[in-house]
Amino acid sequence: MTPLHGEQPGSSAPSAGVDAICDAFEAAWLAGHGPRIEDFLARGDSVHQDGLFRELLLSEWDLRRRHAQPVELQTYLERFAESSQLVAELWNTWHARQTECSDDGITAPPAPPEEKRAGEESLSLDSFESLSFANGRYQVQSLLGEGGQKRVFLARDSQLDRDVVIGLLNGRCVEADTFKRLRLEAKAMARLGEHPNVVTVFDIGEEDGNRYIVTQYVRGGSVADLLSARRPEPLELPKAMRIAAQTCRALAHAHAHAILHRDVKPANVWLMPDGTVKLGDFGLALSLDHTQLTQEDLRVGTAAYVAPEQALGSEVSPQSDLYALGVMLYEMAAGRRPFYGDTALAVVSQHINSRPVAPSWHNPAIHEALDRLILELLAKSPADRPTSAAVVADALEAMLTSAPAPRRLDRSPGTTGGSGRRCSSP
């Protein structure tokens, strides 16, 4: 363990017990078990609770950043409301150390002040009131999260009097080609127009060298946040199926406009307070008339949800998006993903070569029709997956309105008792 960010070695250094607990937390996180800070706090003694809490927070934020997962301050302020002041102070300290990153998202020493880009001089909580875009039209309110390539802010559109989200590319953390991806994302989302299950893009611009995209603000958080709060428990099956069905409607709309998403995962699926699902972040979107991936595309993809053909650099299709959806539905219904590994390469290898265990093996409440559908979505060959996102949405909606069939118990972990290939409804 390293000393707390911003502290001198030896000043309030964590105890050996704190080190051991944090090491166990990091190991569980890297193994894909979805550890919760609250559970690991219970392992420490009362004397070192504050230090343990600080170290666990820092560990989780570092891990999420390095793996390009969203880190949203508001989520932690609400989750640890009784310690909100400590969380905010620690966030300032941690975030100040994230001003420079390498290509793989690992932090590096900060650049000298003269090398900073305009608009990036200070992104601490105290500076948000002075940060704006488009000649003051978009006034930043707070930082929602940060990945290896993009900071995401909540802002206020002063012209239309509404909250919006601004995705600001970090110019020092991305290559020149990534700026093209921002324009591609905006164009892809704009081509989709208005759809109840797609995040709407409002604007795209550049100011003082900073490229940004302005999109709809979805207030309910992401599916990734929902899963993190529930782990190790799965979501209620009706809720998981409703989320997946609405995500399929968004994919069907995108595919009808000749756009592949290519990065379907819980962090890119957002929830409105009324339960409406919104698919966003089309940063890897690809036109159906150009379906060959580059090595850069593969590098920025998400290994945990990647389709076998996408991982191999082969031609992708709407069925590639359906595979990723299948991984997400598996995770929501079973409480865990189908494949885990110590490295991204190990996970990708399983996507290509390994047969997934039936999700009902982890959650016996999953009925046979849903079990079969998830495994169809995870078929290695695109030809063996459902024919379209609309077909999957129809199947899920049919399951929600009908009683599930009794489960057959004489089966192995990798079977479901059925052999259908095209989303047979119960």
Catalytically active residues are: 263
Residues 6+ apart with CB under 8 A from 366: 237, 333, 334, 359, 360, 374
CA torsion 279-305-174-258 (nearest 10°) is -50
Q: Is 119 left (phi over 0), alpha (psi -120 to 50) or beta?
A: left
* Dist. CA 133–CA 209, nearest whole Å: 12
Give the CA count within 13 Å in the CB-facing half-sphere of 425.
Answer: 13
Tokens 């409301």, residue located: 81
Which SS3 state, helix, strand or coil, does residue 23 take? helix
> How far is Cα 1 from Cα 26, in angstroms, rounded to an integer?
10
Contacts for 332 with CB less than 8 Å, ≥ 6 apart: 223, 227, 234, 235, 239, 240, 243, 244, 266
The Cα–Cα gap between 160 and 150 comes to 25
Rounded to 5 degrees, φ, ψ at 146 are: -155, 135
Rounded CA separation 384/319 (Å): 9
Q: Give 346's Cβ-side CA count (13 Å radius).
A: 8
- Distance set, CA 53 to CA 30, 49, 58, 246, 260 (Å): 19, 6, 9, 37, 41
Q: Where are the beta strands (DSSP E) in 67-120?
A: none
- CA-nearest of 340, 215, 333, 203 to 268 is 215
Q: How far, in Å, CA of 307 to CA of 15, rounded?
A: 43
* CA 310 to each of CA 287, 388, 415: distance values in angstroms, whole numbers, following the listed order: 15, 17, 25
Q: Which amino acid is at 71?
A: V
Q: What number of other Cβ atoms are within 10 A of residue 415's Cβ?
A: 18
